Amino acid sequence: MNVGELGIISLTDGQPGDELEAYVRRVEEMGYGSVWLPELFGREPFSTAAWLLGRTQRIQVATGIANVYARDAMTAAQCAQTLAELSGGRFAMGLGVSHPPMAEMRGHEWIAPGRKMRVYLQTIRDTEVQSVSPEDVPPIIVAAHGPVLLRTAAELADGAFGYLMPPEHGDAAKAVLGDKPLLTVLPVAVDSDRDRALETAQKGLAMYMALPAYHRAWARFGLDVSDPVTLIDAIGAFGDVEHVHRKIREYLDSGTDQVVLSPFHGDTPRSDGGLTRLEVLESLIS
């Protein structure tokens, strides 16, 4: 398997800075193409990306996914251009509309996702950042599952980012995106005991099972939260290394241009999540 077709996304808020640096540098040494930084309620992703870009040489560092309710579009444009210029073009900006409760927690009124993202992207495109321009414009990747956001990504962004979607989503998304890239986040638990891997996945993905936006997206592919084992098995890769390799290949063969792995604990659960994630990632390329 071409490891360059793979990226990683990990919630690293609990890792001290020195451990986070060592983790990402090791991922870079392994040959993974990108590292994506989530935005929840821990580290701010753009400043974390800047810190990691200064401590790595080749790997692309990206926000995955920055919440459009967390900063205005002009600020996002400034962040993207600054990081792309200072890193020699190794930064990508992933953007998402998040979910109503998270917008409300920040004191914002929820706006229909397609309209919110369209205005946000257009503002970024119209913003003239008054600093040295990077050699290449930093790519904008939009989190998009349904047809409205996929069309918005096709028209105003540089690609789309799918999360917790089955392989079939790739063909549907590429029909809208055309030659623009599709990245898919794939939850992974490498474990010789497949039942245990699925149990690990159910615990790790429990928070997403309550979000209506995912319910609607899964329903397009005949998946339902009333059958959580079938659902989780369809949207992730949980089992031994051979099973995970087959699942990654399914995504790549179904239109996905890069599979972004989200590693879960497998055979050897430990308090050191960074080390466990590295073991998972190393096992997939050994």
Instruction: Find tokens 């050897």 and name the residue.
Output: 268
Q: Which phi and psi angles does 36 have, rounded to 5°? A: -115, 135
| Residue 171, token pair as written in the block | 């063909």
pTM for the whole structure = 0.91
* Cα–Cα distance, 137 to 179 (Å, whole number): 18
Instruction: Find tokens 């808020």 and name the residue.
Output: 13
CA torsion sign for 134, 135, 139, 140 is positive
Which CA distances in Å does 50 have to 10, 16, 275?
A: 17, 16, 23
Q: 3-state DSSP call for residue 70? A: coil
| Residue 21, token pair as written in the block | 């640096």
122-153 burial code (b ≥16 CB/10 A, e <16): eebeebebeeeebeeebbbbbbbbbeebbebb
CB 45 within 8 A of CB 39: yes
Q: What is the pLDDT along the chain (286 residues), one digit of tens a residue?
A: 567 789 999 888 888 999 999 999 999 999 999 999 999 889 999 999 999 999 999 999 999 999 999 999 999 999 999 999 999 999 999 999 986 767 677 777 878 889 999 999 999 999 999 999 999 999 999 999 999 999 999 999 999 999 999 999 999 999 999 999 999 999 998 888 999 989 888 888 888 888 888 999 999 999 999 999 999 999 999 999 999 999 999 999 999 999 999 987 644 444 445 666 787 888 888 6
In SS3 terms, 174-195 reads as: HHHHCCCCEEEEEEEEECCCHH
Which CA distances in Å does 150 have to 49, 111, 121, 147, 236?
A: 26, 17, 13, 5, 21
